[in-house]
């Protein structure tokens, strides 16, 4: 028997969000997410059937093209493959459970590709750098990569530089799964580090997300 005290496992960083892993089993994953007012979980695709249960507070939950507002006492079911996002537009903290139940066939596919590194790939197209900020940007990338490398599921992070008169940089980030990437993406580390790089850029950077299908190297 195991009793989990949900209140003691609430996580809120100074950036206003946090994730605590409560159960990590092959066919059951339970995580408790905390969002301060104004914080959100970006829209992403559910990689397994998901059930969301609000522990305290209330917020807006989008599933596909629909958005509902729920609080304690209700469950929200999200089919595998459906888009979902959460936003706390209230004046109070929002705490909810994310219960994932991977299907057997999904687990079999996961096992089949577990040895293939770089399954989930994030390509970041950075905005142009401000004049004279190349050195500071390279140092930020090196330092931030050391921090991100400490997160579970991290594989690699590569900086690509411009050639032939270009002015834009790009980064390729490889993670073992979308799930481990999203944990990093919602972390205090990620939000704090990207706030640090904003003064070096002329505008906003654009992220793209991919799943590795074929890899060929000579």
- CATH number of the domain that residue 170 is part of: 3.30.70.100
CB contact at 8 A, 178 and 44: yes
Q: HSE on the CB side for 40, CA within 13 Å?
A: 12
The total number of structural domains that make up the chain: 2
What pLDDT is attached to residue 47? Answer: 80
pLDDT value for 114 = 46
90 plus 159 within the same structural domain: no
Per-run averaged pLDDT (10 residues), the chain, 218 residues:
86 78 86 92 86 95 94 92 92 95 62 56 92 92 91 90 80 88 85 90 89 72
Q: Residue 100 has what pLDDT?
A: 92
Q: What is the pLDDT of residue 26?
A: 80
Domain of residue 46, residue span: 7-106
Among 74, 106, 138, give the residue marking a domain's end: 106
Residue 119 has a pLDDT of 81
Q: How many CB atoms lie within 10 A of CB 191?
A: 17
Strand partners, 25: 28
The pLDDT value recorded for residue 179 is: 82
Q: Are 124 and 205 in contact (CB under 8 A)?
A: yes
pLDDT, position 86:
94
Asked if 125 and 96 sit in the same domain, the reply is: no
Same domain membership, residue 47 and residue 77: yes
Residue 85, C-beta contacts closer than 8 angstroms, at least 6 positions apart: 40, 41, 42, 43, 44, 61, 62
pLDDT, position 87: 94
Measured CA to CA, the distance from residue 17 to residue 94 in angstroms comes to 9
pLDDT of residue 112: 46
Q: Is residue 216 part of a domain?
A: no
Comparing C-alpha atoms, which of 83, 57, 82 is closest to residue 69? 57
- Edge-to-edge order in the sheet of strand 120-125: 154-160, 170-175, 120-125, 206-211
Residues 185 and 207 in one domain: yes
Contacts of residue 9, Cβ cutoff 8 Å, sequence gap at least 6: 20, 22, 32
Classify residue 218: in a domain, yes or no.
Answer: no
Q: Are 75 and 51 in contact (CB under 8 A)?
A: yes
Clarify whether residues 102 and 156 are in a common domain.
no
Predicted pLDDT of residue 105: 61
Q: Which residue, of 56, 77, 106, is where some domain finishes?
A: 106
């Amino acid at each position: 028997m195991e009793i989990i005290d949900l209140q003691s496992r609430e996580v809120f960083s100074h950036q206003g969000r946090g994730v605590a892993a409560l159960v990590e089993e092959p066919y059951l994953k339970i995580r408790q997410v905390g969002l301060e007012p104004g914080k959100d979980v970006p829209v992403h695709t559910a990689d397994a059937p998901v059930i969301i249960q609000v522990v305290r507070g209330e917020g807006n939950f989008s599933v596909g093209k629909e958005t509902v507002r729920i609080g304690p006492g209700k469950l929200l079911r999200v089919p595998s493959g459906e888009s979902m996002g959460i936003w706390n537009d209230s004046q109070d903290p929002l705490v909810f459970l994310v219960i994932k139940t991977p299907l057997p066939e999904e687990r079999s596919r996961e096992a089949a590709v577990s040895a293939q590194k770089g399954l989930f790939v994030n390509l970041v197209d950075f905005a142009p750098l401000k004049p004279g900020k190349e050195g500071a940007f390279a140092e930020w990338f090196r330092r931030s990569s050391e921090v991100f490398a400490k997160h579970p599921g991290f594989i690699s992070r590569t900086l690509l530089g411009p050639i032939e008169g270009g002015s834009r940089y790009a980064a390729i980030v490889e993670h073992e799964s979308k799930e481990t990437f999203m944990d990093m993406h919602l972390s205090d580390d990620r939000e704090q580090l990207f706030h640090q790089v904003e003064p070096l850029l002329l505008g906003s950077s654009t992220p793209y997300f991919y799943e590795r299908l074929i890899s060929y190297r000579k």
